[in-house]
Structure 1
Amino acid sequence: MPTGVAIRDVRDQLFEAAERVLLRDGPSALTSRAVTTEAGCAKGVLHRHFADFDAFLAELVLDRIARIDDQAAALRRTAGTGTVADNLTRELIDLFGSVAVAIVSLVTSRDDLRARLRTARPTGVPVLSDAATAITSYLTAERDLGRITADADIDTLAPTLIGAVHMLFADRQGTPPDTGAVRKVVTAVMAGVA
């Protein structure tokens, strides 16, 4: 006799539920019970698909990093079009307007999760490091096209942009910054090299 209704795309449903809990209530509220309740399924569903809750969280973070990789490819394709400041502003808003800020809070608040992620990503803060890599790749393409100066220190510019814009978005309770505020930071950081 069946014990329940089969759930399609369980992994995605659980990840989306975790994001909603994380965005609404913060990393301290993210528990396996909170996720399965939000997803509308039994707690055992999560544990049937993942070894434990930290394994689930690690997969969630890695899945979201894969999305950053997709965004990075799209950003590189914008090299040579529009303005560098507009491309960076749009990308940084897309990145930090998503669940990325909440994921960073989650990673920094859970030691076991961070330790698990270190096996795949031994340095840096996941999501932020990946975003910096994406920006570095884009800036390199723009430098190769001559749209930023040949001596631009891209390895410093990219993490500076990530850090400065992350600070604008970091308050989970506040109003997100508008495009003008993000563009102001981008313009200030890129002054002298664009």
Structure 2
Amino acid sequence: MPTGVAMRDVREQLFDAAERILLQDGPSALTSRAVTAAAGCAKGVLHRHFADFDAFLAELVLDRIARVDQQAAALRESAGTGTVVGNLTAALTTVFGSVAVAIISLVTFRDELRARLRQARPTGVPLLAEATAMIASYLVAEQAQGRIAADADVDVLAPTLIGAGHLLFADRKGTPPEAEAVGKVVTAVIAGALTG
């Protein structure tokens, strides 16, 4: 690899390269050499920006968690618009249609990464916990709008939706489920909680 050439947005280039590897080949293919090769840079570049490879992976996961947090704000703001089923279907598709399923596999695959993430996020499975909180906060906002029953148990509905969504998208090599299939699951889970 050439040296002395300035790279712009090095972290994002490395994160994007890692994401491509995760999506194409899974967590077992993710090495520092594979990431730097996919990013088109020397291996030392990764180690200049991160203490070690697990520190890089932890930052990758935390960066993707931040994206879920951004999505959560947009989803909450959509309360009262569109349909509840449509909003939840879109949210689940966005979360699990991205690299989230591969990241969950990565966290499961690497003990050191899990230990580092526990320092920053002590409870729950990283990414799944944030996605569950996103869905729960949206359901609470819909309760305030009167579109979800006031007595609906959001703390049960949210993880049920996340678990069902994860199972729908878990086949990394297959084609992702159609929006209609996701909507069918969402409808089945929240049918009893919808008002009107």
Answer yes or no: same fold by TM over 0.5: yes
1:3–1:174 CA distance, 2 compared to 1 (3 A): closer
Query: Which SS does the other structure have where 1:119 is aligned?
Result: helix
1:100 equivalent in structure 2:
100
1:56 equivalent in structure 2:
56
1:147 equivalent in structure 2:
147
Letter in 2 for 1:108: T
1:68 equivalent in structure 2:
68
TM (norm. structure 2) is 0.97
2:37 equivalent in structure 1:
37
2:13 equivalent in structure 1:
13
Give the RMSD, CA atoms, in angstroms. 0.9
CA distance in 2, matches of 1:3, 1:162: 45
Once the two structures are TM-superposed, the CA of residue 115 in structure 1 deviates from its matched residue by 0.3
Once the two structures are TM-superposed, the CA of residue 92 in structure 1 deviates from its matched residue by 0.6
CA distance in 2, matches of 1:176, 1:3: 40
CA distance in 2, matches of 1:96, 1:3: 37
Q: Which runs of 4+ in 1 moved over 3 A?
A: none
Query: Which SS does the other structure have where 1:175 is aligned?
Result: coil
Once the two structures are TM-superposed, the CA of residue 191 in structure 1 deviates from its matched residue by 1.3
Are positions 1:160 and 2:194 aligned together?
no
Once the two structures are TM-superposed, the CA of residue 99 in structure 1 deviates from its matched residue by 0.8
1:4 equivalent in structure 2:
4
CA distance in 2, matches of 1:89, 1:104: 20
Once the two structures are TM-superposed, the CA of residue 183 in structure 1 deviates from its matched residue by 0.3
Unaligned runs of 5+ in 2: none
Once the two structures are TM-superposed, the CA of residue 175 in structure 1 deviates from its matched residue by 1.0
1:133 equivalent in structure 2:
133
Once the two structures are TM-superposed, the CA of residue 187 in structure 1 deviates from its matched residue by 0.2
TM (norm. structure 1) is 0.98
2:85 equivalent in structure 1:
85
CA distance in 1, matches of 2:151, 2:86: 21
CA distance in 2, matches of 1:42, 1:28: 21
CA distance in 1, matches of 2:72, 2:28: 30
Aligned residue pairs: how many? Answer: 193
CA distance in 2, matches of 1:180, 1:9: 37
Residue pair 2:3, 2:42 contacting (<8 A) in 1 also: no
Query: Which SS does the other structure have where 2:149 is aligned?
Result: coil
CA distance in 1, matches of 2:156, 2:112: 30
CA distance in 1, matches of 2:165, 2:22: 20
Once the two structures are TM-superposed, the CA of residue 3 in structure 1 deviates from its matched residue by 3.7
In percent, how many aligned pairs have the same letter? 76
